[in-house]
Amino acid sequence: MTSDTYDIVIIGGGTAALVLATRLSEDARVQVVVIECGEDRKDDPQILTPGLWPLLSGSPSDWAFRTVPQKELGNKELQFPQGRVLGGSSAINSFLFTPTSRASIDAWAKLGNKGWGFETFNEALKKAYTFHRSPGNTVGNGPIQLAVHKSEPENTWSKAWIDSLDTLGFPSSDPFSGTVCGPFENPESVDPKRKQRSFSANAYLEPALNRANLTVLTNSTVTRILLKKTGPEDVIADGVQITTSDGLSRAITARKEVILAAGAINSPRLLELSGIGDADLLQRLGIEVMVENPHVGENLQNHVYTGVVFDARDDEKTLDPYFRQEPNAGKAAAEAYAHGTGPLGSSSIVASAQLPFPGIQTDKGQQDLDQLLQSLDIEADLQRSPRTSASFAAANASVIRSILSSPTEASANYVFGPSALDGSPGNHITVAVMLSHPLSKGSVHITSASPEYLTGNGGLEIDPRYLSHPLDLEVLARHVQFTEQAIGRAEPLARRLKPRTELFGDLEQAKQYVRLTAEGSHHYTGTCAMMSRDMGGVVDDELRVYGCANLRICDASIIPIASRANTQAVVYGIAEMGAQIVKRNI
């Protein structure tokens, strides 16, 4: 066994990890090492070409996790993609960059997390990106390059989407405002000059690779955090044990800190394998309990979604031929990409909207919400989730009531694309409807102490418990109804669609549709939550793991209450905040 020593050891080479590595290595006196299980594919055309992102799920760059059967979704097992490559999920996602709301971040501060209010968080996030609003008009000076990219024929569908929602009382919004309530064209983390994906590996890490104080190890698996007892309930992290691609075992020593940034699945996984977690589980698997904390791996949250597909008129141009892989469409896409447009240069999700509880602006809608909230005991249903404390349930319920009751806070995130995506004949548009603030909470736990599983997706039980909280189904079903009965009938969108037989006139029909068709987004959070230990936390507001003063976690797992919309921007903000915190303390 060989040994190496660094000041900072970062476990994981994903979205947050590479931000941390870049920022912390700005100080030449600090020796930093990043340890990533996957490969360095930052120059791979499949990753760099934006429109190829759907091919990356299930590829060697994906951990390809799966859930256990989901009771409320007909016992389906669902995919749970996460990046297994340098750059993590920022290398394989659909690269929508949607900053979250003021209310989402302030909810974290209200749990007692000092310094995590929206203003501070937003200033940190601004360090992450440069938004090219138009040629010569940029906002920010961060590494991640953002722009609105045009994938659709003649660029007319996004305008129809925005104009139609305007007629429903939701004018175009600025997704960076913190108070967005309405439609907008999607900023994407695609460099408009290079026409390539802009992600943590090429935007943050690549310019820093020549620093003598920064080491990056790929194809290297951390099998255990090396913990040493310093008291009855306290340990310190001496470093990590890794296995290299050639099967050799190696110890990496940390002079100052170990930072776990392996994501919402692998971060709790490594804590448990290292002896931090629920004592009963660890003892059953033969793992020595170093720090007992039953909240490790709990509080798993994800945005559940479904979609409504509308048939477009036969004379309308959509992206369906491209997704059906018709030869002429593929040739046209390649030609368009050479000029920086077309579906190869974009996610093909042309616009979004963040919208409030349907009808909340009207007396009828307010009455519907009042009756719904009176019929459900939100806090009691929350406490039925394993190990959800009464204090956290009360705080979480208060946040949700406030959001649902507001005409300017979003309870659903809508994403819009001019195609069916599944190769169906004809022309279509799809409106995906995503629950912004899920109350259903699940868990991820190891089922084996064997390190052999750590290079793959075995030895784990992932159970998000989708729709286990009854309010999630109620809210999502109403948004599905709104999609069909309001958005689908709004002009100018409606005149471009074929007549439609109403499917969701009855709320029970909408609920049944959600149960049959719902999927999980790739927005996993919460499994090492940042809040007090009594409330259910794993880390404090300085991101330190309870019971281990020099072990921090900095990734999506620390998010205590899921933020609305896509999590990419939020994770970059967390990482920039985390880098500032670590710099103050080393």
Condensed to tens digits (0 to 9), the pLDDT of residues 409-422 reads 999 999 999 999 78
- How much is the average pLDDT of 163-183? 95
Condensed to tens digits (0 to 9), the pLDDT of residues 146-160 reads 999 887 766 799 999
- The sign of the torsion formed by the CA atoms of 451, 463, 554, 289 equals negative
Condensed to tens digits (0 to 9), the pLDDT of residues 534-573 reads 999 999 999 999 999 999 999 999 999 999 889 999 999 9
Condensed to tens digits (0 to 9), the pLDDT of residues 351-380 reads 999 999 999 999 999 999 999 999 999 998
pLDDT at 3: 60
Task: Provide the CB-side half-sphere exposure for 457 (13 A, CA).
Answer: 18
DSSP string, 225-275: EEEEEEETTEEEEEEEEEE-TTS-EEEEEEEEEEEE-SHHHHHHHHHHHTT
Condensed to tens digits (0 to 9), the pLDDT of residues 233-248 reads 899 999 999 999 888 9
- DSSP bridge partners of 550: none
pLDDT at 528: 98
440, pLDDT greater than 50: yes
pLDDT at 231: 86
CATH class of 1-58+82-140+198-301+521-586: alpha beta
Neighbour-count burial for 96-112, b at 16+ CB within 10 Å, e otherwise: bbbbbbbbbbbbbbebb
d(CA 477, CA 471): 10
Is 309 known as a binding-site position? no
d(CA 38, CA 12): 9
586, pLDDT greater than 90: no
DSSP string, 91-138: GTS--B-----HHHHHHHHHTT-TT-SHHHHHHHHHTTEEEEEETTEE
Tokens of 49: 């070409």
Is 222 known as a binding-site position? yes
Mean pLDDT, the chain, integer: 95
135, pLDDT greater than 50: yes
- Count Cβ atoms within 10 A of the Cβ of residue 396 and give its class: 0-12 exposed, 13-18 middle, 19 or more buried: buried
Question: How many residues are present in the chain?
Answer: 586
DSSP tag of 313:
P
pLDDT at 1: 43
pLDDT at 167: 98
- How much is the average pLDDT of 478-494? 97
Tokens of 514: 């959600």
- Read off the pLDDT band of 383 (50, 70, 90): confident
Condensed to tens digits (0 to 9), the pLDDT of residues 177-207 reads 999 899 999 999 999 999 999 999 999 999 9
**Which range among 43-47, 141-145, 226-230, 451-455 shows the weakest confidence by mean pLDDT?**
451-455
2, pLDDT greater than 70: no
SS3 304: strand
- Looking at domain 150-191+304-356+410-435+469-517, what is its CATH homologous superfamily? Glucose Oxidase, domain 3 (3.30.560.10)
Residue 263 near residue 14 (C-beta atoms within 8 A): yes
pLDDT at 81: 95
> Torsions phi, psi of 222, nearest 5?
-75, 120
Cα radius of gyration (the chain):
23
**Beta strands 129-134 and 144-148, pairing class:** parallel
DSSP tag of 443:
E
Q: In the chain, where are the structural domains located? A: 1-58+82-140+198-301+521-586, 150-191+304-356+410-435+469-517
Question: How many CB atoms are closer than 10 A to CB 358?
Answer: 22
